[in-house]
Amino acid sequence: MKTLFIDKEIKYIGSQLAPHWIYKNFKIQGDAIVAFVGECEVKLTEMVDIEDVINDEPIYSKYMLSFISEQFNTELIEGVFRQRLLMCTIKECLERRGFSVKRDGDDLFVNDKKLSVSIATKSLTSVLIHTGINILSQGAPIEVSSLKDDLGIENIKEFAIEVMTSYSKEIDDIVLASTKVRGV
């Protein structure tokens, strides 16, 4: 799996969760995960999480670290497993830095406040995953935790690269592990 940290700020509005967005914008073909920072504002009309739409819960963060992954030849259920693996990877990266993080499904919490948002969906050609982690707490519609305000993480790019590298290695290792066994 290929990785890229995008150095320019991008406002995540939900439309980036689209097939071949990574390929069209960054010339990375195939399974990939990219990360960028910027404001996050996903209106109900752009949301793919029907539960959030029903509950009238749009997403907003003044400053968020976003990960977008596109993975091919994968069904939605496997995509959700891969999304959960990404959340576990983020949790492990934070725990290696000495932080206490709770995971509940695809949500991460610090001090009982929500740190992340995440969704996995299926396109005609791939599974798409978006995960956002609050960098700043202020301005969110609910009480949240954040990388800078609550955890004191200043080097967001370094953290994002650590997450993407760990996740990519894990996915690649899973695929490789599936090639070394004899069928029975």
Q: What is the pLDDT of residues 154-181, one digit of tens each?
A: 999 999 999 999 999 999 999 999 999 9
Residue 169 or 142, more confident: 169
Q: Given a cut of 90, is residue 142 above it in pLDDT?
A: no
pLDDT, tens digit (0-9, with 9 covering 90-100), for 77-93: 999 999 999 999 999 99
119 - beta bridge partners? 130
Percent of the chain with pLDDT over 90: 86
> CB neighbours (10 Å) of residue 41?
16
State residue 141's pLDDT score.
84
The partner residues of 108 in beta bridges, in order of sequence, read: 103
Section 112-138 average pLDDT: 97
Residue 179 DSSP label:
T
pLDDT of residue 47: 82
Tens digit of each residue's pLDDT (9 = 90 or more) over 42-72: 988 888 888 888 888 888 999 999 999 999 9
pLDDT at 55: 85
pTM across the whole model: 0.95
Low-confidence winner among 30-39, 45-54, 132-141, 144-153 (lowest mean pLDDT) = 45-54
Q: Determine phi and psi for 8, rounding to 5 degrees.
A: -90, 150
Distance between CA atoms of 97 and 10, rounded to whole angstroms?
A: 27
Note whether 145 and 114 are within 8 A (CB): yes
Mean pLDDT (the chain) is: 95
Question: Where does 2-174 sit in CATH, by number?
Answer: 3.30.930.10
Q: Tell me the average pLDDT across 96-125.
A: 97
Query: How many CA atoms lie less than 13 Å away from 63 in the CB half-sphere?
Result: 11
